[in-house]
């Protein structure tokens, strides 16, 4: 999908405002749900980077985690807060640009989720740095996103390869974490109007030692 021009906040505000329904559905991402189902995943707190209109943060809060969520779009954050209220959960939601956002001093989370943050290489790198630095000992960094191979499928996700992931980049960016799984391949997405059909994705989970 072609990137529109303008700041990230303006572009995403426009997309969310124009959407008659949640852009990526209200159900949580499948990979995030699979990680929560693992016997060795016992995190009680989570930081969701680029949580959009809130499906993942709200669901994690329903599972009993204390959730903080960051997204650049004020429109998405308002919708996410409305979703939280409908679900009867409380999520600490912050509207901020991840190119500049710094977690409050001393804050750490037992899990960090980055689900479909398809920014430029610089933005993705910053999100990975912030996420890894925010992990408590033993904490999980979990990511799903469109892979470079998705550039050949113009129906979904960005077509600019700079906005797509590969596993090499993730391994290189997170040398201090112990990889639990690092997968690239084809899945069928059923996530609202924007993520529907076959897609080439990466799924990556790693833990801070200790």
Ligand X SMILES: C[S@@+](CC[C@H](N)C(=O)[O-])C[C@H]1O[C@@H](n2cnc3c(N)ncnc32)[C@H](O)[C@@H]1O
Using CA atoms, how far apart are residues 33 and 27, in angstroms rounded to an integer?
10
Helix axes 55-62, 74-87, angle to 10 degrees: 30
Q: How far is the CB of 54 from ligand X (least distance, A)?
A: 8
Number of H helices, E strands in the chain: 6, 7
Q: How far is the CB of 168 from ligand X (least distance, A)?
A: 22
- Residue 98, CA distances (Å) to 32, 85, 102 in order: 20, 25, 8
Q: How far is the CB of 1 from ligand X (least distance, A)?
A: 10
Return the residue nearest ligand X (CB atom): 52
Residue closer to ligand X by CB (options 72, 164) is: 72
Residue closer to ligand X by CB (options 3, 181) is: 3
- Residue 89, CA distances (Å) to 37, 138, 192 in order: 20, 26, 22
Residue closer to ligand X by CB (options 139, 192) is: 192
Residue closer to ligand X by CB (options 45, 138) is: 45
HSE-CB for 153 with a 13 A CA cutoff: 17
Interface positions with ligand X (CB under 6 A):
8, 12, 24, 29, 50-52, 55-56, 71-73, 76, 97-99, 115-119, 123
Q: How far is the CB of 209 from ligand X (least distance, A)?
A: 27
Q: How far is the CB of 39 from ligand X (least distance, A)?
A: 25
Using CA atoms, how far apart are residues 115 and 61, in angstroms rounded to an integer?
16
Residue closer to ligand X by CB (options 16, 110) is: 16
Q: How far is the CB of 210 from ligand X (least distance, A)?
A: 27
Residue-wise burial string across 135-159, b where 16 or more C-beta atoms lie within 10 A, e elsewhere: bbeebbbbbbbbbbbbbeeeebbbb
Residue closer to ligand X by CB (options 81, 138) is: 81
- State the pairing for strand pair 135-146/195-207: antiparallel
């Amino acid at each position: 999908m072609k990137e529109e021009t303008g700041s990230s906040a303006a572009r995403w505000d426009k997309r969310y405002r124009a959407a008659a329904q949640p852009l990526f559905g209200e159900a949580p991402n499948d990979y995030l749900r699979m990680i929560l189902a693992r016997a060795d995943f016992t995190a009680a707190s989570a930081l969701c980077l680029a949580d959009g209109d809130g499906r993942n943060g709200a669901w994690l809060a329903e599972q009993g985690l204390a959730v903080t969520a960051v997204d650049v779009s004020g429109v998405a954050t308002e919708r996410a807060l409305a979703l939280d209220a409908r679900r009867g959960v409380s999520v600490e939601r912050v509207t901020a640009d991840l190119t500049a956002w710094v977690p409050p001093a001393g804050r750490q989370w037992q899990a960090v989720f980055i689900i479909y943050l398809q920014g430029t290489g610089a933005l993705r790198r910053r999100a990975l740095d912030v996420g890894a630095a925010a992990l408590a000992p033993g904490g999980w960094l979990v990511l799903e996103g469109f892979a470079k191979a998705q550039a050949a499928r113009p129906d979904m996700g960005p077509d600019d390869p700079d906005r797509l992931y590969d596993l090499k980049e993730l391994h290189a960016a997170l040398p201090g974490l112990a990889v639990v799984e690092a997968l690239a391949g084809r899945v069928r997405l059923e996530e609202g109007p924007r993520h529907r059909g076959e897609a080439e994705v990466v799924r990556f989970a790693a833990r801070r030692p200790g």
